[in-house]
Amino acid sequence: VEKGKLAAIDLKRQIGAPRFREALTPLMRTMVEKQSVVVDDITGATVSSRALKRAVADALSRAAGN
């Protein structure tokens, strides 16, 4: 988070199976572009998509001091 905006998403640890990291790249890009975690899940990686969105929402909340 930079200047109150989502600047980038960096996975510090693996979410789900290793092949899902590549599948989640478009999801991460979309969240940054839309400045929101309210985006469609990746088909075939629904559980990983939702885990990533929860993690990003948590990080944004912590950055905001909540």
Tens of pLDDT, residue by residue over 1-57, are 888 788 999 887 766 667 777 889 999 999 999 999 999 999 988 988 998 999 999
The pTM score is 0.82
Rounded distance between C-alpha atoms, residue 59 and residue 66, angstroms: 10
Q: What's residue 32's pLDDT?
A: 95
Does the pLDDT value for residue 66 go beyond 80? no
Rounded distance between C-alpha atoms, residue 11 and residue 45, angstroms: 16
